[in-house]
Chain A
Amino acid sequence: MIQETVGSAKTRGVASIGRLPKINPVFFVLAALLVAITFSNPNFIEPTGYMNFLKRAAPLAILAAGQIYVIVSGGFDLSAGSLITLTVVGSSMLLDNSADATWWVIAVMYAVGLAVGVVNGLVVSYLRVPSLIATLGMMITLNGAAFMWSSGSPRGYLPETFRFFGRASIQGIPLIQFLPVALLVLLVVGFILFWLMHRTNLGRMLHALGDNPRAAQMSGVPIERVRIIAFVASSLSAVTAGILLGGFAGVSTDVGVGYELQAITACVIGGAQLLGGRGSVPASIAGALTLTAIFTLLNFIGLPKPTRDVVQGLILIAAVVLATYRRNRAGGT
Chain B
Amino acid sequence: MNTKHPAIEMRGITKSFPGVKALKNVSFSAHCGEVHALAGENGAGKSTLMKILSGIYRPDGGSVVVNGEERHFTHPLAAIRAGIAVIYQEFSLLPERTVAQNIFLGREPTRRGLIDHKAMNDEARRALALFGSAHRIEPSTVVADLDVASQQLVEIAKAVSLEAKVIVMDEPTAALNEAECEVLFGLVDTLKKSGVAIVYITHRMPEITRLANRVTVLKDGEVAVRFDHVPEPEAIVRAMVGRDLGDFYAEPAAPQEIGDVVLSVHNAGNERLKNVSFELRAGEIVGFSGLQGAGRVALAQAIFGLSPFTEGEITLSGKPARFTSPREAIRAGVGLLPGDRKAEALVLMQSVVDNGMLTSRALSGLSGNANATPFVSAEAMEKLLRELDVRAGSFAQDIKALSGGNQQKAIVARWLALAPRLLIFIEPTRGIDVNAKAGIYHLMRDLARKGTAIMMVSSDLPEVLGVSDRVLVMRNGELVAAFSRGASEADVMLAATGEEAVAA
The interface residues of chain B lying within 8 Å CB-to-CB of A216 are 347, 358, 362
Are the C-beta atoms of B338 and A218 separated by less than 8 Å? yes
Are the C-beta atoms of B362 and A201 separated by less than 8 Å? yes
B140 to chain A, nearest CB (A): 27
A306 within 8 A of B: no
* Distance in angstroms between the alpha carbons of A203 and B84 in the assembled complex: 47
Are the C-beta atoms of B350 and A208 separated by less than 8 Å? yes
The interface residues of chain B lying within 8 Å CB-to-CB of A7 are 393-394
* Distance in angstroms between the alpha carbons of A214 and B18 in the assembled complex: 30
Are the C-beta atoms of B362 and A218 separated by less than 8 Å? no
13 sampled A-B residue pairs with Cβ under 8 A: A4-B392, A4-B393, A8-B395, A201-B368, A201-B369, A203-B370, A207-B347, A211-B348, A215-B346, A218-B306, A220-B362, A222-B362, A273-B349
The interface residues of chain B lying within 8 Å CB-to-CB of A278 are 349
* Distance in angstroms between the alpha carbons of A14 and B396 in the assembled complex: 8
Residue of B nearest to A202 (CB): B366
Which among A8, A214, A277, A332 is the interface contact of B396 at CB below 8 angstroms?
A8
The interface residues of chain B lying within 8 Å CB-to-CB of A277 are 347-350
Are the C-beta atoms of A208 and B347 separated by less than 8 Å? yes
* Distance in angstroms between the alpha carbons of A12 and B370 in the assembled complex: 13
A292 to chain B, nearest CB (A): 29
Which among A8, A215, A329, A332 is the interface contact of B345 at CB below 8 angstroms?
A215
What would 17 more interface pairs be, CB under 8 Å, given A5-B382, A200-B369?
A: A15-B354, A19-B398, A200-B368, A201-B369, A201-B370, A204-B361, A205-B361, A208-B347, A212-B343, A214-B343, A215-B343, A219-B330, A219-B362, A220-B327, A220-B331, A220-B363, A222-B362
The 9 tightest CB contacts between A and B, nearest first, are A15-B396, A201-B361, A211-B347, A220-B330, A8-B394, A8-B395, A220-B362, A277-B349, A11-B396
* Distance in angstroms between the alpha carbons of A329 and B361 in the assembled complex: 31
**Chain A, 189-215, CB within 8 A of any chain B CB:** 196, 199-205, 207-208, 211-212, 214-215
* Distance in angstroms between the alpha carbons of A73 and B489 in the assembled complex: 47
B336 within 8 A of A: yes
Residue of B nearest to A333 (CB): B17
B386 within 8 A of A: yes
**Chain B, 342-393, CB within 8 A of any chain A CB:** 343-351, 353-354, 357-359, 361-371, 373, 378, 382, 386, 391-393
Are the C-beta atoms of A204 and B358 separated by less than 8 Å? yes
Are the C-beta atoms of B20 and A12 separated by less than 8 Å? no
Are the C-beta atoms of B326 and A212 separated by less than 8 Å? no
A9 within 8 A of B: yes
Are the C-beta atoms of A219 and B18 separated by less than 8 Å? no
Place the interface of chain B in its size category.
35 or more
The interface residues of chain B lying within 8 Å CB-to-CB of A5 are 382, 386, 395
Residue of B nearest to A221 (CB): B362
Residue of B nearest to A207 (CB): B350
Which among B18, B343, B357, B401 is the interface contact of A329 at CB below 8 angstroms?
B18
Are the C-beta atoms of A218 and B344 separated by less than 8 Å? yes
Are the C-beta atoms of A201 and B364 separated by less than 8 Å? yes
The interface residues of chain B lying within 8 Å CB-to-CB of A19 are 351, 396, 398
Residue of B nearest to A203 (CB): B370
A161 to chain B, nearest CB (A): 31
Are the C-beta atoms of A332 and B401 separated by less than 8 Å? yes
Are the C-beta atoms of B344 and A214 separated by less than 8 Å? yes
**Chain A, 9-59, CB within 8 A of any chain B CB:** 9, 11-12, 14-16, 19
Place the interface of chain A in its size category.
35 or more
A229 within 8 A of B: yes
Are the C-beta atoms of B348 and A212 separated by less than 8 Å? yes
* Distance in angstroms between the alpha carbons of A220 and B366 in the assembled complex: 13
A1 within 8 A of B: yes
The interface residues of chain A lying within 8 Å CB-to-CB of B400 are 331
Residue of A nearest to B414 (CB): A219
Which among A8, A196, A214, A217 is the interface contact of B392 at CB below 8 angstroms?
A8
* Distance in angstroms between the alpha carbons of A1 and B354 in the assembled complex: 20
- Known A-B contacts A277-B350, A332-B401; the reply to A218 vs B370 at CB < 8 A is no
* Distance in angstroms between the alpha carbons of A277 and B306 in the assembled complex: 23
A197 to chain B, nearest CB (A): 10
B19 within 8 A of A: yes
A263 to chain B, nearest CB (A): 22
The interface residues of chain B lying within 8 Å CB-to-CB of A333 are 17
Are the C-beta atoms of A12 and B349 separated by less than 8 Å? no
B360 to chain A, nearest CB (A): 8
Are the C-beta atoms of A12 and B17 separated by less than 8 Å? no
* Distance in angstroms between the alpha carbons of A200 and B331 in the assembled complex: 20
The interface residues of chain B lying within 8 Å CB-to-CB of A222 are 327, 362
Of A19, A218, A329, chain B has the most CB atoms within 10 Å of the CB of A218
Are the C-beta atoms of B367 and A202 separated by less than 8 Å? yes
The interface residues of chain A lying within 8 Å CB-to-CB of B386 are 5
Residue of A nearest to B389 (CB): A1
B381 to chain A, nearest CB (A): 10
A236 to chain B, nearest CB (A): 15
- Known A-B contacts A200-B368, A204-B357, A207-B354; the reply to A218 vs B326 at CB < 8 A is yes
The interface residues of chain B lying within 8 Å CB-to-CB of A207 are 347, 349-350, 354
B50 to chain A, nearest CB (A): 15
**Chain B, 15-43, CB within 8 A of any chain A CB:** 17-20
The interface residues of chain B lying within 8 Å CB-to-CB of A200 are 366-370
Are the C-beta atoms of B18 and A229 separated by less than 8 Å? no
* Distance in angstroms between the alpha carbons of A196 and B258 in the assembled complex: 44
Are the C-beta atoms of B394 and A215 separated by less than 8 Å? no
